[in-house]
Amino acid sequence: MITKLYLIGIGPGDPKYLTLEARDLIQKLNLFFVPDKSGKKEILTEIRLNLVKTVKGNDNFTIVGLSFPERRKGPNYKEKVKEWRREKARILKRALLDSEESEAGLLIWGDPSLYDGHIDIMREVEKDLPVKWEVIPGLSSFQVLSAKQKISLTEVSTPLAFHTPRSLRYLERISHPVLVFLDNYETFQKFKDDENVIIHWGAFVGTEREVLFSGRLSEICERLKSLRREIRKEMGVIMEIYYMKRGAGNSTET
């Protein structure tokens, strides 16, 4: 049985963005848990696998896929998320019990504290299992996005808001900078009529598949929608982040 589990933030997926603490742990551990993805989403598993291979320099390790279910859709969104996480906790508990290793790492995109539910899942797990666990912070894609785009995310005496697409729906206007994670609803188009809104958008930021696009939203909104749909069709999944603010900007795509 696993008696010690590390929630390891692996950043955007490129080994160069790992912290030294994360790298040392990956070199030390022999067992890693990852959500089991199928179809075109297998790329998310492959990126994790390649990261571990690169860090360890060999294949002397085991990857265990966790067959997490998709979240059930419907009303009562928050309750659906709670149910989903409880189911994930049950699956993770079984994997911990079935293992012959004593320590393992759970590889998590970016940072475990941002747009990720595994900390809450571990709170459920520890109710039933005497497992110790630690959180290893990682670099988030929004930090890599800001570096690549050469922008400061914060302004003098101005708040910075983190949004999901659901919360962004209720925002009437972009009055201060916002960061948005995984916008499958293309909620950014709600603000396309405001000529002062600038968007810095990125997909698979910090990986070899990285695509960056930025400019005045009123001018590039339709091109951005087409771009992200092309990427999603090709890859089967899209890992995206974007930053919006009021100000001047020119369109750039890389």
How much is the pLDDT for 5? 98
Cα–Cα distance measured from residue 38 to residue 115, given in angstroms and rounded to the nearest whole number:
22
CATH 1.20.1630.10 fits 4-136, yes or no: no
Q: What percent of the chain has pLDDT over 90?
A: 80
* Domain range summary for the chain, segments of one domain joined by +: 4-136, 141-253
Comparing 77 with 119, the larger pLDDT belongs to 119
Cα–Cα distance measured from residue 83 to residue 71, given in angstroms and rounded to the nearest whole number:
9
In CATH, which superfamily holds the domain spanning 141-253?
Tetrapyrrole methylase, C-terminal domain (3.30.950.10)
User: For residue range 20-71, what is the model confidence (pLDDT) as tens digits?
Assistant: 999 999 999 999 999 876 666 677 888 888 999 999 998 889 999 998 888 8
Residue 251 reports pLDDT greater than 70: no
Rounded mean pLDDT of 237-254? 83
How much is the pLDDT for 69? 85
How much is the pLDDT for 131? 95
User: CA of 116: how far to CAs of 19, 53, 185, 195, 228, in Å?
Assistant: 18, 24, 19, 33, 22
Total count of residues recorded for the chain = 254
Instruction: Establish how many alpha carbons lie within 13 A of residue 157's alpha carbon, considering only the half-sphere containing its beta carbon.
Output: 0
Dihedral sign from CA coordinates of 174, 177, 183, 189: positive
Beta strands (DSSP E) in 78-182 are 103-108, 132-136, 161-163, 178-181
pTM of the model: 0.90
In DSSP terms, 35 is beta-bridged to 66
